[in-house]
A and B are shown apart, each in its own frame.
Chain A
């Protein structure tokens, strides 16, 4: 039964890869690069096998593996995937080799350490998504901070230390409260089940019995931690700094996957574990999400630095995801899940593209460009497609997610007002404003800076990386069923957990 160990195998690959990497002589930089690429590609292949082995019609946690770890506390090494985590696992293993490939030339100091941390980062991210035990989850959640911290702190820009510490402290602060809540939950479980446990499935079963008053506090403790990670307005100010200072690969992973850990946490823990509290707080969090959508877009609009612009746009995009989760309808939650993937792809692509131009010009200031569409037509085309995907043009991926989220928000039973969806929909205007204005200032008009005349267009490696992402940008746009199907049963289950009769009756 190889299936029973598939997920462990998935985790083992980047871990073993990272350890084996230590044996390679650090001067053999190319060998290090190829090895990192090989390991992360292998992880991608395994995640495809996991996808093939997952029965999305059946739903629920599958390919589960459980080993007792600290047996008297019922803490176990318990991993498995459902449709929601599977999509994020696929996103993670898909983006990691691409980011390594994108760093092929731009990372040229401490290549071995860089690859090492990238593989550890992958391990941490995958661990977060596949953990079915809160204790295990928490370890991965925290552990993942370390490689990211180093990636920003060592290979980052001039203010990298400030940014990396800010990133670390922000996220650490939130996590501590979550830890307290986890321990409280485990203790509470011992009162109900007769034994201490951090097993997620067991906790799900006792969730409806948690008193409402306590749910509220528990919810807040978890949600704060996730809200910082997402980030939800007004907890977002670490993000622009972290993005601007991080190397391209770091930004791509940060935007592509790390932020999703926050929204994933909300969906995986906050909603099913504290359903009544989630319903209670839904209008408040949705309001913050909508402020984030509009505020993020407006602030993005006036940025002078391309990367900061894309970073603020993430605040707006993730606002949509959070809104979708807290609208708590099948449409909106499905939309939120697909939008997590979409944001990973389109914002990932935008960061990669900013990286491409930064590698050549060593400036990200919008005012240093202008008129480069003629000089680098391939790059201009790619940037246009990525922008349109981010804007949410129908036919590309972003539209599917935004549409489902907004549609679901409109009919949401917990947000019983059109105002939520009405305001959120105005986000479609602002996204067009900041991206098209950016595009205009960088690509159109006359050349103002003579240096751009020597710009070289994208090379084959860069074209390959972006094309790989564009395949999915178009695929999800035209035939999203492939991906919506994966998570359909799982999102349905989450909504059922929130609205199960016990919950609504016991308030």
Chain B
């Protein structure tokens, strides 16, 4: 099965080609949907097979390189299309194909009747193709191919309904913004790749990481590499200051938000940093920077989510915030905890988005939660699964989010910096609050929608995926039960990834001795706060709507600041976008290019014309004739020069 791993990229590629070329001709949604989903389903089975095969291998041999062909070979540069099957890539592969398959199936129901049905499935398959290359690639260049590929699919899918309006602008504005902001990150990523090649003479993971651990390389080189790569991660994984594209990415169909902008693609940055753990471990200053950015992003985005009224916007900012959590974990050296959260987040956030999709579907494309209310009796399955996901993200035991979030909080505390822990806890409280504000306004309380809306539960093809994800979101955390509870077996999840992060962990030598009592105390403190937060949200938004209004009136300035997302988009527009566009048009093009450069040349030409005015009489006015004379003149001059030598 391990050797067949290339099928997990090949099958989605074939699915893309089939639905891309023939999708618009086949009018049958079933055929398109079944082909589109089955390529991913089979891929998932292959990854599962490869997982169990790898599990049966001795711990020190759990890495297989499957080499396909030479991609770019020039001089010393030798890059292959080859896949690296190991603990980390298998974990990511399972998430991508597993959650991916569920979302493909859901999409059959969600996209029913859409004119672009075939195109949608083609793009989704192309996405899985790129994402699998991203996580399986055994070198930085193949990782980058996947990286750009998922960016393209994200672009195509955000702008899927390219003729629609989206908020103040259009879906295609949102799509373009996503691509370009990501390109800014890619610029950093590319610089990182060049520097890696310059430093280590290779782009293969195995070579680079082995040399990073053994060679004596100046500190500043590690710092630069780690920083450049992290700039790439900031773009793809929506961290400050490059997070601005992700909330707008909600212009895409909801399954896309679930798959690409919550569960998989946006975690690519986390994967990449974790993959390069040894490089980061060698650059402590940048690790600190990663932690700071992560922590700031987590609390900043959570604060915006508090007041948003679009159901998908709340979830989008929540995603940004949770990604911040993951980077906080990476920054404090808890690589495994970051990936654990990647996994549990994939379950509960995909579920939240699909649940939101189900609500939007049932409410005829209404997305404003102020116009919902009391929906739980109309869509009970959606409600229950959404509630499970909300409890999971809030961190209520024993649901999956509790374990992963707790591990991150504990790691940041153990790292010795109490501020990180504090920011983490405050973010957790905010998260619980905005999630239950969302749940309460949507499913509880009075119905606030008009009579023209007839809310209904979604078909089975949509609710069954919800139920599967709900089970995963509920029990998925059990594979990562912390050592203090699980005893001698330790944390199974950490054990599985241990060989990958061992070199980095050895370098950081983190986790001073803390009593397990401390861990339990912190856990209880956080939990009490979270439960209080949930009750506060339910009290305010179900029992009595007034305190919310009072609060927002009292703190009008803060409320508006949050509602308008700190005006970051406006600031970027005024300080970056407009000056570049206007400057290019007025200064570069109309002034420098036309007036100065071209003007100078035309000026010279005019001068010559004036001088030659006296001999103008022999001119015939036929331009072609001039050209001929000129040619003859040159040839004559040439011969004259040669012969007179």
Contact = CB atoms under 8 A, between A and B. Distances in A.
Do these two chains interact? yes
Interface of A: 73, 142-143, 145-146, 149-150, 153, 161, 164-165, 168-170, 172, 176, 179, 183, 187, 196, 234, 236-237, 295, 298-299, 301-303, 329-331, 334-335, 371, 373-374, 377, 388, 393-395, 399-400, 403-404, 406-407, 410-411, 421-422, 425-426, 428-429, 432-433, 436-437, 440, 443-446, 478-481, 484, 488
Contacts of B144: 394
Nearest to A237: B598
11 contacts: A143-B631, A164-B623, A187-B645, A236-B597, A395-B148, A407-B197, A410-B195, A429-B184, A436-B155, A444-B172, A478-B71
B183 A428 contact: yes
Contact of B638 (A179, A373, A395): A179
B630 interface: yes
B141 to A, nearest CB: 8
A196 B642 CA distance: 10
Contacts of A161: 623
Contacts of A299: 584, 588-589, 593
Contacts of A170: 601
Interface stretch (B35-43, B94-102, B173-181): B173-181
B184 to A, nearest CB: 6
B641 interface: yes
Nearest to B146: A394
B72 A421 contact: no
Nearest to B186: A428
B70 interface: yes
Contact of A301 (B179, B186, B194, B581): B581
B190 A428 contact: yes
Q: Which 6 A-B pairs have the closest CB atoms?
A: A444-B172, A330-B75, A302-B585, A394-B145, A298-B584, A444-B162
Interface in B103-155: 141, 144-145, 148-149, 152, 155
A183 B644 CA distance: 12
Contact of B634 (A142, A183, A234): A142
B72 A411 contact: no
Interface in B579-607: 580-581, 583-585, 588-589, 593, 597-598, 601, 605
B223 interface: no
Contacts of A142: 631, 634
A295 to B, nearest CB: 6
B194 A168 contact: no
B505 interface: no
Contact of A334 (B69, B70, B74, B642): B74
Contacts of B198: 410-411
A74 B313 CA distance: 77
A481 B627 CA distance: 43
A437 B598 contact: no
Given A73-B642, A168-B627, A411-B198, A488 B74 contact: yes
B191 interface: yes
Contacts of B187: 425-426, 428-429
Nearest to A190: B645
B148 A394 contact: yes
A432 B69 contact: no
A146 B631 contact: yes
Given A164-B623, A187-B645, A436-B176, A480 B72 contact: yes
Interface string B248-262: 000000000000000
B367 interface: no
Given A301-B581, A374-B163, A428-B186, A403 B598 contact: no
A425 B72 contact: no
Is the interface on chain B under 10, 10 to 19, 20 to 34, or 35 or more residues? 35 or more
A411 to B, nearest CB: 5
A149 B623 CA distance: 10
A479 B148 contact: no
Interface in B50-97: 69-75, 77
Contact of A393 (B73, B152, B175): B152
B173 A394 contact: no
B634 A179 contact: yes
A440 B169 CA distance: 13
Given A176-B634, A407-B197, 5 more contacts: A237-B598, A299-B593, A395-B145, A411-B198, A440-B159
A445 B159 CA distance: 10
B180 A445 contact: no
Contacts of B152: 388, 393
B624 interface: yes
A436 B180 contact: yes
Nearest to B637: A179
A29 B331 CA distance: 71
Contacts of A443: 162
A243 to B, nearest CB: 14
B584 A403 contact: no
A425 B190 contact: yes
Contacts of B195: 410
B24 interface: yes
B170 interface: yes
Contacts of A406: 190, 194
B163 A237 contact: no
B601 A237 contact: yes
Contact of A298 (B175, B191, B588, B601): B588
A34 to B, nearest CB: 28
Contacts of B170: 444-445
Given A73-B642, A237-B593, A298-B580, A393 B627 contact: no
A106 B593 CA distance: 31
A377 B24 contact: yes
B529 to A, nearest CB: 42
Contacts of A146: 627-628, 631
B72 A484 contact: yes
B183 A432 contact: yes
B637 to A, nearest CB: 8
Contact of B74 (A149, A330, A374, A444): A330
Contacts of B159: 440, 444
Contact of A331 (B69, B77, B149, B191): B77
B163 A425 contact: no
Nearest to B195: A410
A429 to B, nearest CB: 5
Contacts of B77: 331, 404, 407
Contacts of A168: 627
A149 B598 contact: no
Nearest to A138: B638
Contacts of B149: 393-395
A356 to B, nearest CB: 20
A183 B642 contact: yes
B89 to A, nearest CB: 19
Contact of A422 (B73, B191, B645): B191
B589 A445 contact: no
A234 B194 contact: no
A479 B79 CA distance: 11
Contacts of B634: 142, 176, 179
Contacts of B74: 330-331, 334-335, 404, 484, 488
A24 to B, nearest CB: 22
A149 B627 contact: yes
A404 B180 contact: no
Contacts of B593: 237, 299
Contact of B183 (A335, A374, A377, A429): A429
B129 to A, nearest CB: 10
B521 to A, nearest CB: 48
B421 to A, nearest CB: 37
Nearest to B149: A395
A445 B584 contact: no
Nearest to A196: B645
B573 to A, nearest CB: 14
Contacts of A145: 627
Given A183-B641, A407-B194, A302 B183 contact: no
A491 B642 CA distance: 33
A490 to B, nearest CB: 13
